[in-house]
Amino acid sequence: MSKAEKTKQHIIEKTATLFNTKGYISTSLSDITQITGLTKGSIYGNFENKDEVAIEVYKYNAGILSKTLSRSFGDEFPTSLDKLHAFVEFYRKNWEFVFANGGCPLMNAATEADDSFPALKTQVRRSFEQWMAKISDAIAEGQSKGEIDKKINVQKFASLFIMLIEGGILLSKTMGDQSFLNHALDKVSSMIDHELNILPS
């Protein structure tokens, strides 16, 4: 990496938790300079404006989550049902890590992704589309292998899983109580076992 690329990556990594915790709109240039130890001139020497920093930080935060979640859909899990359960367990096991870094970056950014920040809205929509596609692909794979009921509406269940999990995260973060997320994850697990699964138990 060149010196400029290293500086840019330093800014992104140092501000990742800050943006996710304080907000992509509320985080100020002064916040950025304070946490990075760089001057405003150095920030603007690498980014056109604060919004560009926010977008790149969102991509970074969402990318980490996406990379980690992708492991749940890897070939080490023998069936599509195993992959879906691994995806659920990721959230159950990584509660403390996710919340220590401000919560789900997709949900946090989505609350700010209105018409006042259209570029962020575009990125968030793309992230949710990719997430839904991963789940949909796993369900469709299960259907093709005879593991999952072929009458199941793939997109419907993929979106329901996301809605339940994101809602659980929101309540747990607000109330400071993991049980809300656990309730949501239990429901998703039950749907996998009893509404998708057609294999003998």
Provide mean pLDDT across the span 61-83: 89
Contact between residue 33 and residue 54 where contact means Cβ atoms under 8 Å apart: no
pTM over 0.75: yes
Q: Which residues contact 124 (CB under 8 A, 6 or more apart)?
A: 58, 106, 109, 110, 113
Residue 53 resides in a domain: yes
Task: Name the residue range of residue 132's domain.
Answer: 3-196
d(CA 93, CA 185): 11
Residue 168 resides in a domain: yes
Residue 100 resides in a domain: yes
Residue 201 resides in a domain: no
- Check whether 115 has a pLDDT greater than 80: no
Residue 192 resides in a domain: yes
d(CA 188, CA 15): 33
* CATH code, domain carrying 121: 1.10.357.10
d(CA 27, CA 79): 43
d(CA 181, CA 189): 12
Residue 102 resides in a domain: yes
Provide mean pLDDT across the span 68-95: 89
Place of tokens 């239990």: 186
pLDDT at 99: 75
3-class SS letters over the chain: CCHHHHHHHHHHHHHHHHHHHHCCCCCCHHHHHHHHCCCHHHHHHHCCCHHHHHHHHHHHHHHHHHHHHHHHHCCCCCCHHHHHHHHHHHHHHCHHHHHHCCCCHHHHHHHHCCCCCHHHHHHHHHHHHHHHHHHHHHHHHHHHCCCECCCCCHHHHHHHHHHHHHHHHHHHHHHCCCHHHHHHHHHHHHHHHHHHECCCC
pLDDT at 158: 97
User: pLDDT grade, residue 59 (50/70/90)?
Assistant: very high
Q: Which residues contact 197 (CB under 8 A, 6 or more apart)?
A: 81, 147, 148, 149
Residue 153 resides in a domain: yes
Q: What is the share, in percent, of the chain residues with pLDDT greater than 70?
A: 99
- Name the domain count of the chain: 1
- Work out the mean pLDDT of the chain and round it to a whole number: 91
Residue 70 resides in a domain: yes
d(CA 150, CA 25): 44
pLDDT at 200: 62
More confident position, 11 or 112: 11
